[in-house]
Chain A
């Protein structure tokens, strides 16, 4: 079933050590095309390190990362984005002094190769503006297009965080705790957005909120102390004793 060409992203024996500390230990991970995959694990399990290696912020100590069949282990961060790897951040990484539209338009312009042009005014690129506005309206942010991020409520900022990544039209999207810090009354907006993401996009989500994970993911990988503890569909994971011990048990009684 798992023919290699259907894999959107794959890691082979990925390791990362900081001195004597091993934060990623022989991770073999496979993300299918169009997958809805969650990566869970207790604090300090190495989830963010793993994401940072995938995006090229950190170099792995050994092992390989393969994006769409191409080995990208040595490829720089910006080139990985060009090859279709997008991400969002756990802690908002927005252009706070700029308008919501500019936040998205920067990504759209970058993808379309317009961002380095120095002569015509940015506002004369109607196609960039229209595409950005369209994207914002699908996320329910059209009204806020000209607002600065500074003036935006936190929940909407989390949506802009996703909007920027979508502006890159990635084939693989890494969502680092998209609902982090959002009160549960508002998080349904984010869940709606997640449900409506394009079907062909392969998505890996890191999330602590188990309601979000079990509603969204079709497959779950549990990471503990830098190692893959278990991987499988949600039903299996929720029944797995080891998972309960290290993660779900603590979470549910907390």
Chain B
């Protein structure tokens, strides 16, 4: 219609069909499976963190809720799956995953209903408080969680009774791949829906959303609950692939790292959640091998560079290059 099209993905003018570039991450993930068999454990971890970062992008990038406590839902999902298996003998991975999802949803709904009445710094502090409380509960309830020693003895039966988790991590990788694909599909539909557009409305101007009669609070509670559900699933996956749960899944550091991954990739654009964990976890892997004591320094430098020179993250840089090329053409 006009020369300057809106730079956003969703909305009432957006073409919601899947573009060919959106298949690239999946092709890359499958190539990784065949070409890098010795890295499948790292690969599965990346896939899980993509799902986890995707859940964070939904509330941070689309709804504009800043949180440092998203590990609460991830950690709860991880512990629910772990406790079900190690303490209650429920070994079916699907049942564990559904339980982790339900736990995340439940906690997301309860805590979201309370903290989303506040905003900005108060909200940030409350998200921190929630994950701190959960961490302390997990630390003290040693009979259930193993406390600081962690929860071992997690057994996961074959997926659908057919595909056994092997020591090379092939099943785990493909299993995470499929769960991530389903998660991505849900998130993508939601982002493109009227609900997703109304979330961007809340992010852009919540005052005006109230003035057009939107139940802003309930919209936020809903998206927060959905996000917590997905984080719970990601937590369940990390337990199933590690067959162990440590206290670190609930830590504030892991929530912070997740936010770093999302910022590295690019906030509020779905695929930032794909790029960020890849960059972060691969860099972490490489740096930890080269400089075991200083690897965090490298991550820090990367983050500083992104925040100073590329606010849109890696995908923001790509956008800039593409639009410059198009202008020349």
Shortest Cβ distance from B129 into chain A, in angstroms? 28
Q: Which of B12, B15, B189, B211 has the most CB of A within 10 A?
A: B12
* A81-B213, A123-B14, A145-B1 known; A102+B197 contact, CB < 8 A: yes
Shortest Cβ distance from B217 into chain A, in angstroms? 9
Q: Is the Cβ of B15 less than 8 Å from the Cβ of A123?
A: yes
Q: Is the Cβ of B193 less than 8 Å from the Cβ of A121?
A: yes
The reply to whether the CB of A213 lies closer than 8 angstroms to some CB of chain B is no
> Which residue of the partner chain, among A78, A99, A117, A144, contacts B213 with CB atoms under 8 Å?
A78
> Which residue of the partner chain, among A94, A110, A123, contacts B192 with CB atoms under 8 Å?
A123
Q: Is the Cβ of A95 less than 8 Å from the Cβ of B194?
A: no
Which residues, 203 to 261 on B, are CB-close (under 8 Å) to A?
A: 204-205, 207-216, 219
Task: Name 7 extra pairs, CB < 8 A, besides A94-B205, A101-B12.
Answer: A78-B213, A98-B201, A98-B204, A102-B11, A106-B197, A123-B13, A146-B13
Q: Is the Cβ of B13 less than 8 Å from the Cβ of A102?
A: yes
Q: How many A-B residue pairs have CB under 8 A?
A: 154
Residues of A within 8 A of B216 (CB): 78
Shortest Cβ distance from A57 into chain B, in angstroms? 8
Q: Is the Cβ of B213 less than 8 Å from the Cβ of A168?
A: yes
Shortest Cβ distance from A200 into chain B, in angstroms? 20
Tally of B interface residues using CB under 8 Å: 38
Q: Is the Cβ of A122 less than 8 Å from the Cβ of B8?
A: no
Q: Which of B190, B210, B212 has the most CB of A within 10 A?
A: B212
The reply to whether the CB of A107 lies closer than 8 angstroms to some CB of chain B is yes
Closest to A105 in B: B12
Pairs across A and B, CB under 8 Å, 12 listed: A78-B216, A89-B208, A93-B207, A101-B13, A105-B11, A106-B201, A110-B212, A116-B195, A121-B192, A122-B10, A148-B7, A148-B8
In the complex, per-residue mask of B1-38: 1 if CB is within 8 Å of any chain A CB, else 0: 11011111011111110000000000000000000000
Rounded to whole angstroms, the CA-CA distance of A87 and B15 in the bound complex is 31
Rounded to whole angstroms, the CA-CA distance of A121 and B9 in the bound complex is 12
Chain A positions within 8 Å of B, measured between CB atoms, are 55, 57, 77-82, 87, 89, 93-99, 101-102, 105-107, 109-111, 114-125, 128-129, 132, 143-148, 151, 164, 167-168
Rounded to whole angstroms, the CA-CA distance of A110 and B207 in the bound complex is 15
Question: Which 4 A-B pairs give the minimum distances between C-beta atoms?
Answer: A81-B213, A121-B16, A95-B204, A99-B6
Q: Is the Cβ of B16 less than 8 Å from the Cβ of A99?
A: no
In the complex, per-residue mask of B158-185: 1 if CB is within 8 Å of any chain A CB, else 0: 0000000000000000000000000000
Chain B positions within 8 Å of A, measured between CB atoms, are 1-2, 4-8, 10-16, 189-190, 192-198, 200-201, 204-205, 207-216, 219
Q: Is the Cβ of B200 less than 8 Å from the Cβ of A145?
A: no
Rounded to whole angstroms, the CA-CA distance of A132 and B204 in the bound complex is 19
* A93-B207, A132-B12, A164-B208 known; A106+B198 contact, CB < 8 A: yes
Shortest Cβ distance from A111 into chain B, in angstroms? 7
> Which residue of the partner chain, among B4, B189, B208, contacts A95 with CB atoms under 8 Å?
B208
* A105-B12, A122-B14 known; A148+B215 contact, CB < 8 A: no
Rounded to whole angstroms, the CA-CA distance of A239 and B65 in the bound complex is 54
Q: Is the Cβ of A143 less than 8 Å from the Cβ of B204?
A: no
* A167-B212, A168-B212 known; A121+B195 contact, CB < 8 A: no
Rounded to whole angstroms, the CA-CA distance of A96 and B7 in the bound complex is 12
Residues of B within 8 A of A128 (CB): 12, 194
> Which residue of the partner chain, among B2, B10, B12, contacts A129 with CB atoms under 8 Å?
B12
